[in-house]
Chains A and B, each alone.
Chain A
Amino acid sequence: MSQASPGSSPLSVPYGSDAAADFLALMSHELKTPLNVVLGYLDLLLSGIPDPLPTVARSQVERARASALHLLDVIDSLLTFVRLQRGDERVHVQRADLAPVLRETAAAVRPLMTDTRLDFDVRVPNEVGPIETDPAKVSQIVIRLLSNAIKFTEDGGVILEAGPDGEGGIHITVSDTGSGIEEADREHVFEPFWQREPGLTRRTGGSGLGLTVVAELTRLLGGKLELESEPSRGTTFRLRLPARAERSPEQEAKS
């Protein structure tokens, strides 16, 4: 029979251990699998299977899907944040045209916009790049920027643009006509856990990790992130990515 030794708590497994990494991978699977099942059945209903939905039910199911997508985004932010903190997030550089990546990302985010009065304008040319970068991470960054923009925009809309940055790299720009960010808040938005409105009485939700993850992933890709904002007029995030991101040491070793 095994017994916990009196001196050491089983809770003292070090944060940086392999066991903690395995646990994170497992949690990622345990959290996402049921959520994907929820999203899958909602998508079937929205596809009119087994029967087309009545109009009111359709908009309710669309809202349920938007909430489920939001939850997926929170889980992704949280898990990415923990991996970044542990230094487990690896960059897998490949030569890629980002146009299809951006279009797919925009399509994935579109259902978050349940308010049909808002515009979502995707201005992505036929080719963006190609550059050497990690397309999955670019997609993660753009998902966070777009979902943030949608969250804070009540009138007008959101625009996704991309193209060459004039220095051999590319730019990806997400702008909105939302509530904007007060000057005093701008230096805080990338800090982990920071909330524009603290407490549970706030108007808009959020984990306080989304933009931290965006900033850190941008750094890993050797990029730059600029923020322009005017309160009650809107916010623009401009991501610049270099023609070549640096490979992580283990990818370098393999090639």
Chain B
Amino acid sequence: MKPKVILLVEDNTDTREIYRTILAQAGYEVLEARDGDEGLALACERKPDLVLMNISIPDVDGWTATTLLKQDPRTESIPVVAVTAFSRAANVEKARSAGCDGYLDKPVGPQRILEEVRSRVGPASGASDAAS
């Protein structure tokens, strides 16, 4: 069975590596994008099972990228979880209006990322789908 595919949109190389490592260890296939444009292109091309979207990324920011994903019929059904460094309750509202399915405030440790991914798409290669 093919592993579930997670797209990481994150500009910080180290943060990307930390998240990739824990997700790959758990058996997920991990795609990586360094900015919003790359993230949008990869999402259209590969149709991941989940997008983890850092909000403060270069060029197209995470809110805009999420709005664009949710407006495109090819990608609208892919769940998006926003990850933001700015711990503000106002962001919860922003996340909702951009169409994010979930929202995590940094610091988000690797275990927290893994839990969030598991609870949304299920285990890396199981038939069960927690999101449905």
Question: Is residue B18 contacting chain A, with contact meaning CB distance below 8 A?
Answer: yes
Lowest 6 CB-CB distances: which A-B pairs, in order?
Answer: A92-B89, A40-B18, A37-B14, A43-B109, A36-B107, A43-B110
Question: Is residue B21 contacting chain A, with contact meaning CB distance below 8 A?
Answer: yes
Give complex CA distance A72, B105 in Å. Answer: 14
Question: Is residue A39 contacting chain B, with contact meaning CB distance below 8 A?
Answer: yes
Question: By the criterion CB–CB under 8 Å, are B15 and A37 in contact?
Answer: yes
Contacts of A60 in B (CB 8 A): none
Sample of 18 further A-B pairs with CB below 8 A, known A32-B107, A36-B107: A29-B56, A29-B85, A33-B15, A37-B12, A37-B14, A37-B18, A40-B15, A43-B109, A44-B18, A44-B22, A44-B110, A47-B22, A90-B90, A92-B88, A92-B90, A94-B92, A136-B87, A136-B105
Question: Is residue A135 contacting chain B, with contact meaning CB distance below 8 A?
Answer: yes
A155: shortest Cβ distance to chain B, in Å? 30
The tally of residues in B whose CB lies under 8 Å from a CB in A reads 23
B62: shortest Cβ distance to chain A, in Å? 14
Of B19, B85, B89, B92, chain A has the most CB atoms within 10 Å of the CB of B89
Question: By the criterion CB–CB under 8 Å, are B89 and A40 in contact?
Answer: no
- The interface of chain B, by Cβ under 8 A from chain A, is 12, 14-15, 18-19, 21-22, 25, 56, 85-90, 92, 105-111
Give complex CA distance A170, B27 in Å. Answer: 43
6 residue pairs bridging A and B, Cβ less than 8 Å apart: A36-B15, A37-B12, A44-B21, A90-B90, A92-B88, A92-B92
- The interface of chain A, by Cβ under 8 A from chain B, is 25, 28-29, 32-33, 35-37, 39-41, 43-44, 47, 49, 72, 90, 92, 94, 134-136
Question: By the criterion CB–CB under 8 Å, are A36 and B22 in contact?
Answer: no
Give complex CA distance A37, B12 in Å. Answer: 9
Contacts of B111 in A (CB 8 A): 43, 47
Give complex CA distance A135, B90 in Å. Answer: 12
Question: By the criterion CB–CB under 8 Å, are A136 and B88 in contact?
Answer: yes
Contacts of A29 in B (CB 8 A): 56, 85
Question: By the criterion CB–CB under 8 Å, are B21 and A49 in contact?
Answer: yes
Give complex CA distance A39, B112 in Å. Answer: 13
Contacts of A32 in B (CB 8 A): 85, 106-107
Of B18, B19, B92, chain A has the most CB atoms within 10 Å of the CB of B18
Of A33, A90, A135, chain B has the most CB atoms within 10 Å of the CB of A33
A41 in contact with B88 given A29-B56, A47-B110, A49-B22 (CB within 8 Å):
no
Give complex CA distance A28, B87 in Å. Answer: 11
B130: shortest Cβ distance to chain A, in Å? 18
Interface residue from B12, B18, B85, B106 paired with A41 (Cβ < 8 Å): B18
Contacts of B88 in A (CB 8 A): 90, 92, 136
